[in-house]
Amino acid sequence: MENRYIKLQAPGCNVPLKVVPGHFATNHSHINYYIDMTTLKTRVSEAQEVARDLVGLYLYNTFVDTIVCLDGMDVVGAYLAEELTKAGVMSRNAHQTIYVVTPEYNSNSQMIFRDNIQPMITGKNVILLMASVTTGKTINKGVECIQYYGGKLQGISAIFSAIGELDGMPVNSVFRERDIPDYQTYDFRECPYCKKGIKLDALVNGYGYSKL
């Protein structure tokens, strides 16, 4: 798998998206490309570039108090906070600085925030930041969690998103479906690869992949 990477560019973005064609299962669907975000999420120069691209998608009259990171997006989240501040996006936090937090998953796979983190969500202007979005089901869980704790959702951002909006809320992304030629996502019951008896190459989630 490591040798099958294809690097794709998006207009205005200086870092490529690495994708691997094949047959993969996420938590919510089967997909024909694994999108490898490893270096975009962990290499400082790449995370900074992604943050610079994402900041342009926010209006300067938006308030941002907290960035909730899923999919291991904390490094990008910290740079996004810095870029938002540099761009003049305001925070209502007492110390004029943005919080960057990650929810915990409980034993029922629900996203939760402990008591010490809840004040960074309740009544705050929140951005949800993800690595990749395919069906939007993970976004729904994140939004449910933010709203449960009383956060005010101001935006959703991702490095890659196959959808442009969810329930009227735009999903801002550096890379879109059109940037990956022939990107397909299937309900596992309808997956044409499975129907042809083609085995899965790997299971993928926000941490990475495990080959099968």
Ligand X SMILES: O=C(O)c1cc(=O)[nH]c(=O)n1[C@@H]1O[C@H](COP(=O)(O)O)[C@@H](O)[C@H]1O
Q: Which residues bind ligand X (CB under 6 A)?
A: 26-29, 31, 34-35, 71, 131-138, 204-206
- Structural tokens at position 87: 């761009």
Minimum CB distance to ligand X, residue 105 (Å)? 11
Residue 12 CA: distances (Å) to CA of 15, 49, 130, 131, 175:
9, 10, 20, 18, 10
**Shorter beta-carbon distance to ligand X: residue 69 or 131:** 131
Q: CA 203, CA 212: separation in Å to the nearest integer?
A: 7
Q: CA 90, CA 69: separation in Å to the nearest integer?
A: 19
Minimum CB distance to ligand X, residue 92 (Å)? 29
Which residues sit opposite 208 in a β-bridge? 205
Q: CA 33, CA 183: separation in Å to the nearest integer?
A: 7
Minimum CB distance to ligand X, residue 197 (Å)? 22
Minimum CB distance to ligand X, residue 34 (Å)? 4
Minimum CB distance to ligand X, residue 144 (Å)? 13
**Shorter beta-carbon distance to ligand X: residue 142 or 151:** 142
Give φ, ψ of 101 to 5 degrees.
-130, 165
Numbers of helices and strands, H then E, in the chain:
5, 14
Q: Is residue 67 within 8 Å of 99, Cβ to Cβ?
A: yes
**Shorter beta-carbon distance to ligand X: residue 85 or 185:** 185
**Shorter beta-carbon distance to ligand X: residue 118 or 208:** 208
**Shorter beta-carbon distance to ligand X: residue 61 or 210:** 210
**Shorter beta-carbon distance to ligand X: residue 15 or 89:** 15
Minimum CB distance to ligand X, residue 85 (Å)? 27
Q: Is residue 162 within 8 Å of 134, Cβ to Cβ?
A: yes
